[in-house]
Structure 1
Amino acid sequence: MSDLAPWAAHPSRSRGRCHAEESGDRGPRDCFQRDRDRIIHSISFRRLRHKTQVFLAPDGDHFRVRLTHSLEVAQIGRTIARTLGLNEDLTEALCLAHDIGHPPFGHAGEDALQKATAGQGGFDHNGHTLRTLMRIERPYPRWPGLNLTWETLEGLAKHNGPVASPAWALAQADDEARLELTTHASLEAQVAALADDIAYDNHDIDDGLRAGLLTLEQIEAVPLVAEGRARLATRFADVPRDRLTGELIRSQIGAMVNDLIAESRRRIDEAGVESVEDVRRAGRPLIAFSPAMATAERDLKRFMYANLYHHPRQLEAAAAAHHVVAGLFAAYRADPALLPEEWRGRLPAEEPGVSRHIADFIAGMTDRYAVARYREAVGPIDLPEGF
C-alpha cells in the first residue's frame, strides 16, 4: 500500500467496524479487501444476477442485469482509482455494493414500494443498501449484517454527495455508525459514483441498440456520440458502420475516464488536500468531469431518458412491474400469513415496522421470484412481451 496517495483511504487508518471481531486466520487480507470479499459472497449480491438493469426480466442472454452492471462499474472504478493513487479495494467494494438495495424491476419497483410505504417513511434504494448490508444479511453468528468498515458504509451512504435530510433507513444506519452525512465522502466513494454514471451512460446505449429501441442514427444526434463517431469514421473508413458500435462504446468510455482523471487531478491539486479528512472537509467533490464533459454527459442522459428509459415499450413494462410489486405489498399487508415462515417469525407487532418488514422482503426478491410470488399470492397476470 506504499503507493497510495496521502489523500487515499488507508486500511491501517480505518475507523473500524460497528462490532468488534476476534482475530482469525482467514488469509492475508486488509480490512477493505475483506469488505469487498464479504460483499461478493453475500446472498444479496448473488441475487443481482436476476434483477433489472434497464430491461425488465430480460429474455435475452446478452442484456445487462444489476450484477453485470456492478461488475462493469467496478472495472471502471478500479482503473480510475489505480491511476489516481486511491485505494483500489475500497473503490471496488463500493462499486460492487452500490446497487444491492434495488428492489425487483429497478426504478419501477422502487417507485411502487415508495408509494406503498409513504405513510411509514417510504422506501429508498440507497438507504436500503445500508439496511441490507447492516441488518438483513445475517451470515455471522454474533451480529447482524456483514459488519463492514466505517469507510465502506460511509461511501455507500453518501457517494452521491452529502445527505442533509436522510430518510428513515439511512438515518438508522447513521445512528448506528455515525457516518457524518453532511460531509463529502472519500475520493474512493466519489470515484464509485462517477464510474456508475460512465458505465450506464454507455452500456445502456449498447443494450438499447441490441433491443431495437435505439438506432445508430438516433444516438449520433447526441454531440458526444457524434464526435466519437466522426473519429471512428476516419480510423476505420473501410469498416461497415454497424461493425463499429462496440468500438464507439469503448472509445466513449475511454474519453470520459480520461477526462475524469485529468479534471480530478486538477481539483485535488487546487484544493491542496493532504489527507482523507481534508477530502471530507473540502466542501465540494474533487472527483469530477471537466465542465465541457459534464455538459456533454448531461446531454447524453437527457437523450437516454427521452428515447430509451421512457420508450413506450419500456413504460408498458414498467407499469406491469409496478402492478406486480404494489400487488404483492397489498397482499402481504392484508394477510401477513402469506409471508414465508422465516419472515412471519420476525414480523413486528405494529407500524411502521410491519410495512417496513414487508418492504424488506419484497425488495430482496429477484424479478422472476416476484412474478412467481404474485401469481401465488394474488393471482394470474398478463405480462408484456419481454417478461
Structure 2
Amino acid sequence: MPASYASDPSLTRGRLYPEDETTARGPRDAFQRDRDRIVHSISFRRLRHKTQVFLAPDGDHFRVRLTHSIEVAQIGRTIARTLGLNEDLTEALCLAHDIGHPPFGHAGEDALKAALEGQGGFDHNGNTLRALTEIDSPYPRFPGLNLTWETLEGLAKHNGPVTAPQWALAAADDAFPLELETYASLEAQVAAIADDIAYDNHDIDDGLRAGLLSLDQLLAVPMIAMRWDQCRARFPEVAADRLTGELIRGQIGAMVNDLIDTSRAAITASGVKSPDDARDAGRALIGFSDAMRDDERGLKRFMYANLYHHPFQLAAADKAQAIVAGLFAAYYAEPSLMPGDWPARLPQAEPWISRHIVDFIAGMTDRYAITRYREVVGEIDMPDAF
C-alpha cells in the first residue's frame, strides 16, 4: 500500500507535450512508461561503454555506467518499497541519473567544462536533462522522451534545491518549470542516496579486482574493519579472498538499513502527508544517521585518496582529457568532420556552435571517442587496460 507521501502516477503534473494516454501500449501508468522510455533509449544503451571508475576496461567483470545504473535501481527499489514510495518513479530516476555523463566520466566532464568556458559551461546533471528533453528524440511528435514532470524534476534536483542552474538545466526549467528552489520528491531523494551506496561499495569491489586497492588498506577504514570482523566471525573457515563479496554485501545492507530506519523516523517527525509536503519540508527527509553519514564520508575520503586519485587513474584521466579536448578543437575548426547530420544542423552563432559540438561529444562512448580521435586528430597511446 503506497504511503500518502508517495508520488502517485494518476496525479502526475503531466508531460510537456500532451499525449493521448488511450494509445498507451500495454497496461502501464505514467511512471512505468517513463521507466520504459528510458530503458529503450539510445542514451541508456550507450552507458554500457562509458566509464564508471576505470577508463574503457577490457575486463568483463568491471562496472560501467550501465551496470552501475542497474545496481543503483536495485538498491533504490528496495528502499522505496520499504518506505511505501513509488518504485517505478524511483527506478526511472535511478536508471537515468547518469545519462548525461560524457565519455571518460569526470575527466571527460572537466574537458567539456573547459571547452565551454565562456559559453555557459558543462554539467553532467544539466546534460542529462538536455539529452532526455532535446537530443534523444525517437518519437515523431515531440523532441526528447517527453517524460513526466515528476521524473524531470527528480533528475534536476535529486541532490537538493538548485539555486544557480547551469544553462542546460535552466533551459529545461524554462520549458517546463521544475520548481528548482524546493527539494525533490522522496523518490528522487532515495535515488540520490542509492547512487552513493552503490558506488561507495561497488567501487571497492572493482578497486580490489584491479589491484589498485588492497584489503590491508581497506581495513584502515573503521567501518570496513568492523564489517570485516563480522565476516570473519561468521565464516572463520573461509579464505579471506573468498569474503570480499560478503564484505561488500554487508556494507550495502548496513547502509540501506540505517537509511531506512533514519528516513522513516524523519518522515514521521516531519508530519508530511503528501509529495508536495515533502517538497516543502525545507530539508531532505531521506538520509543516513549522523554516525553512518560520518562513516560514509570517511569512506569517500579514503576512496578519493587511494582509488580515484591513484597514479594510474590520474594518468588515464590526463589521456581522457586530451582526447575530449582534441575532439572539440578538431570539430570546432572543421565541423564537417562530424558524421551524419551534425554538420548540417550546426547553429550559426555562439554559444550554440560550441554547445552543438559538445552535444555530439558528450553522447560518445569511451571507445567511440578514442576511435574518432584517431580518425580526426591522430594516434594516442592509452594506458594498459585491466
- TM tier relative to shorter chain: over 0.9
**1:211 corresponds to 2:210:** yes
One-letter code aligned to 2:318: A
Deviation readout 1:74-111 (Å, 9 max, x if unpaired): 00000000000000000000000000000000000000
| TM-score normalised over the length of structure 1 | 0.99
**1:77 corresponds to 2:76:** yes
In structure 1, distance between residues paired with 2:263 and 2:214: 33
In structure 2, distance between residues paired with 1:90 and 1:384: 39
* Residue in structure 2 matched with residue 15 of structure 1 by the alignment: 13
* Residue in structure 1 matched with residue 278 of structure 2 by the alignment: 279
Over the aligned positions, Cα root-mean-square deviation in angstroms equals: 0.7
CA displacement at 1:353 relative to structure 2? 0.3
Matched residue SS, 2:19: coil
Instruction: Flag as ranges the 4+ runs of structure 1 deviating above 3 A.
Output: none
In structure 2, distance between residues paired with 1:25 and 1:211: 46
One-letter code aligned to 2:63: R
* Residue in structure 2 matched with residue 126 of structure 1 by the alignment: 125
Alignment of 1:82-231 (within 5 A): 82-231=81-230
In structure 1, distance between residues paired with 2:336 and 2:250: 53
Q: Which runs of 5+ in 2 are unaligned?
A: none
In structure 1, distance between residues paired with 2:214 and 2:262: 32
* Residue in structure 1 matched with residue 334 of structure 2 by the alignment: 335
In structure 1, distance between residues paired with 2:58 and 2:188: 33
One-letter code aligned to 2:311: P
One-letter code aligned to 1:235: R
Deviation readout 1:116-151 (Å, 9 max, x if unpaired): 111100100000000000000111111100000000
One-letter code aligned to 2:6: A
* Residue in structure 2 matched with residue 58 of structure 1 by the alignment: 57
Q: Which runs of 5+ in 1 are unaligned?
A: none
CA displacement at 1:341 relative to structure 2? 3.1
CA displacement at 1:246 relative to structure 2? 0.2
Alignment of 1:257-296 (within 5 A): 257-296=256-295
* Residue in structure 2 matched with residue 301 of structure 1 by the alignment: 300
CA displacement at 1:25 relative to structure 2? 4.3
In structure 1, distance between residues paired with 2:304 and 2:338: 36
Deviation readout 1:353-379 (Å, 9 max, x if unpaired): 000000000000000000000011101
| TM-score normalised over the length of structure 2 | 0.99
In structure 2, distance between residues paired with 1:103 and 1:72: 20
In structure 2, distance between residues paired with 1:25 and 1:372: 40
In structure 1, distance between residues paired with 2:370 and 2:69: 23
One-letter code aligned to 1:77: G
Bigger CA drift: 94-103 or 344-353?
Answer: 344-353
In structure 1, distance between residues paired with 2:266 and 2:273: 13
